Structure 1
Amino acid sequence: MNKGMVDTACGTCSNMDCLIKKNYQSPVVSTFTEHRKEIRCKKGQQFIMEGAPVTGLFFVLKGSVKVLRTGLHGKEQIVRFAKEGEIIGHRGFTTEESYPISAIALEDCTLCYFAKDRLQEVLKTDPLFTYDLMLFYANELSKSEVKVKSLSQMTVRERVIDTLLYVYRKFGQDNDFISIILSRREYADYAGTTEEQVIRAFSALKKENLIVARGKRIGIVQLESLQKEISEHNFYLDS
Structure 2
Amino acid sequence: MMKECNNLCDVKSCFLCSRVIADWLPAVAQKKRNFQLKKGDQLFMETETVSGIFFVFSGTIKVHKKWDNEKELIIRFAKPGDVIGHLGLGKNPTYPVSATALEQANVCFIDLEFFRSSLTVNPGLTYQMMDFFASELQESHERMRNLAHMPVKARIATALLSLRSQFGTDASGAIDLDISRQDIASYSGTTYETLFKVFTEFTKAGKLSANGKRINVLDTSFLQLVVTDDNRKT
TM-score, normalised on structure 2? 0.90
In the alignment, which residue of structure 2 is the partner of 1:206?
Answer: 203
- Is 2:43 the partner of 1:47? yes
CA contact (8 A) 2:63 2:99 kept: yes
Q: Which amino acid aligns with 1:226?
A: L
In the alignment, which residue of structure 2 is the partner of 1:101?
Answer: 97
In the alignment, which residue of structure 2 is the partner of 1:237?
Answer: none
In the alignment, which residue of structure 1 is the partner of 2:214?
Answer: 217
Distance 1:8 1:97 in 2: 26
Moved more, 20-29 or 115-124: 20-29
Cα deviation, 1:141-187, whole Å, max 9, x if unaligned, reads 01100000111121111111011111111111111211112111111
Moved more, 184-193 or 205-214: 205-214
Q: Which amino acid aligns with 2:177?
A: I
CA contact (8 A) 1:7 1:34 kept: no
In the alignment, which residue of structure 2 is the partner of 1:173?
Answer: 169
- Is 2:88 the partner of 1:92? yes
CA contact (8 A) 2:119 2:126 kept: yes
RMSD: 2.0
2:191 to 191, 194, 197: 194
Moved more, 187-196 or 21-30: 21-30
Distance 1:232 1:36 in 2: 48
In the alignment, which residue of structure 2 is the partner of 1:10?
Answer: 11
Q: CA deviation at 1:28?
A: 3.0
1:226 to 223, 226, 233: 223
Q: Which amino acid aligns with 1:110?
A: N
Q: Secondary structure at the match of 1:28?
A: helix
Distance 1:222 1:34 in 2: 49
The structure-2 alpha-carbon separation of the partners of 1:133 and 1:30, relative to structure 1 and needing over 3 Å to count, comes to farther
Q: CA deviation at 1:8?
A: 7.4
CA contact (8 A) 2:36 2:107 kept: yes
TM-score, normalised on structure 1? 0.88
The structure-2 alpha-carbon separation of the partners of 1:199 and 1:157, relative to structure 1 and needing over 3 Å to count, comes to same
Q: Which amino acid aligns with 1:124?
A: T
Q: Secondary structure at the match of 2:24?
A: helix
- Is 2:62 the partner of 1:66? yes
2:34 to 38, 60, 75: 38
Q: Which amino acid aligns with 1:180?
A: L
Distance 2:159 2:227 in 1: 11
Distance 2:226 2:9 in 1: 47
Q: CA deviation at 1:217?
A: 2.2
Distance 1:161 1:20 in 2: 33
Distance 2:41 2:4 in 1: 15
In the alignment, which residue of structure 2 is the partner of 1:121?
Answer: 117
Q: Secondary structure at the match of 2:107?
A: strand
Q: Secondary structure at the match of 2:178?
A: coil
The structure-2 alpha-carbon separation of the partners of 1:201 and 1:7, relative to structure 1 and needing over 3 Å to count, comes to closer
